[in-house]
Structures are given as C-alpha cells and as structure tokens.
C-alpha cells in the first residue's frame, strides 16, 4: 500500500512538473530570442517624452508591452493614461529608422479631455475632438531633421491625419482618416 501511494505521489509530481514545463515553454515561445553570442544585437530606437523626461527603448519589429506604451504616452498634465493605438510606436520607430536616427522625441501623446478643453479655452490650437483624446495620435520630431522633411515622410505613409506645426517644430500623426493641415 505504501509503495502504491509513493508511485501515485511521484506520478502526480511528474504531471505537475510537465505542466510547469509546458507553461514555461509557452511563455518563452512568445518572447524574442536572446542575442546570439558573437552577433551584433538589433539597434534600439530610443523614444523620449519631453514632458515626463522618460525614455522608452524599442527594438524595431518587437512591440513593447501595451501597459508600457500607455504609460509612456500618458497625459503629462493629469498623469492619466488610456489604451493607446499600438501603431503609434511603430510610426515613431519607422520615422527614426527612415532618417537613420536612434531617437524620436515625443511632444504629445494622450491628452485627457479636461486638459484638451483647458488648452482650447486658453486659445491653443487644439481640436475640440482631438485624436489625442482618443489615444490614436502622437506629435513628435526627429533630432537634426527639418520639420518639412519629416512632414513629407509622414504624408507619404498614408496612415491617417498629418499636421505640420512649423513654429512649434513638430509633426502630428494619427491613425484616423487621411487628412492634412498646417498649424503654428
């Protein structure tokens, strides 16, 4: 009887170990492979949020976790975040890569509706139903790249709305309908 009990306990432990191994294998299958010794690692693109003074290093082709994106692009005034369109990070990375830069500077991501209203009342150029309040817009610049040059690249992407802000020195891109405008 004791021998049968020991065999059952061992079988149960082996089954639990097999389940743990399957779970671990599933987790590691979803993660990117470790760098191979002797090979150069992929070049990271560094995103910098000028309002929060935070950096987010992104490997091209590898999406950062959604909560990290939401926090990085949060509203600096209210410190609130929302689910951001994951394509925005791809836009920033693609722009940096196109201009052979390792950095993209974020001017604005999510804008809380209350903050957006406050800016409108103060006479700032913000749309009443801004795509920033919907979580699908980003204003940015690429260091050492002229704003008109970045604007031309953004229009060529045909992703969504593209705004040119020469005086403020940034380009707006969103994932809404394709449209173009200029601001200050």
Residue 39 falls inside a structural domain: no
- CA dist 141 and 95 (Å) reads 9
Q: Decide if 113 is inside a domain.
A: yes
Q: What integer pLDDT is reported at residue 8 of this predicted model?
A: 40
Please report whether residue 4 resides in a domain.
no
Alpha-carbon dihedral 45, 50, 51, 54, rounded to 10 degrees: 40
Nearest to 169 by CA among 84, 105, 120, 78: 105
Q: Confirm whether 34 is domain-assigned.
A: no
Number of domains in the chain: 1
The CATH number for 166's domain is 3.30.1380.10
**Dihedral sign computed on CA atoms, order 150, 67, 136, 128:** negative
Tell me what pLDDT residue 128 has. Answer: 84
DSSP H or E segment with residue 181: strand 179-183
> How far does Cα 137 stand from its chain's mean position?
11
Handedness of CA 158, 159, 160, 162 (dihedral sign): negative
Give bridge partners of residue 164 from the DSSP assignment.
171, 182
Expressed as residue numbers, the domain containing 124 is 45-183
Give the pTM: 0.77
In a domain, 30, yes or no: no
pLDDT digits (tens), the chain, 184 positions: 555 433 344 445 555 555 666 655 555 444 555 667 887 777 899 999 999 999 999 999 999 999 999 999 999 999 999 999 999 999 999 999 999 999 999 999 999 999 989 988 998 878 888 999 999 999 999 999 999 999 999 999 999 999 999 999 999 999 999 999 998 7
pLDDT score at 23: 59
Q: Is residue 101 in a domain?
A: yes
DSSP-H helix ranges across 31-131? 66-72, 87-98, 113-121
In a domain, 33, yes or no: no
- Which phi and psi (to 5°) does residue 86 adopt? -65, -20
């Amino acid at each position: 009887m004791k021998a049968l009990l020991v065999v059952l306990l061992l079988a149960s432990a082996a089954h639990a170990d097999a389940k743990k191994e399957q779970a671990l294998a599933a987790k590691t299958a979803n993660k990117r492979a470790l760098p191979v010794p002797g090979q150069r690692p992929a070049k990271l693109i560094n995103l910098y949020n000028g309002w929060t003074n935070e950096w987010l290093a992104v490997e091209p082709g590898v999406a950062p976790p959604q909560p990290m994106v939401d926090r990085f692009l949060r509203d600096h005034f209210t410190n609130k975040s929302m689910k951001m369109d994951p394509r925005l990070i791809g836009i920033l990375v693609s722009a940096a890569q196109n201009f052979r830069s390792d950095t993209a500077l974020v001017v604005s991501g999510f804008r809380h509706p209350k903050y957006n209203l406050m800016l409108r009342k103060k006479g700032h150029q913000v749309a009443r139903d801004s795509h920033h309040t919907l979580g699908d817009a980003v204003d940015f610049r690429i260091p050492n790249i002229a704003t008109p040059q970045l604007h031309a690249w953004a229009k060529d992407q045909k992703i969504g709305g593209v705004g040119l802000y020469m005086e403020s020195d940034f380009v707006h891109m969103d994932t809404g309908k394709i449209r173009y405008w200029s601001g200050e």
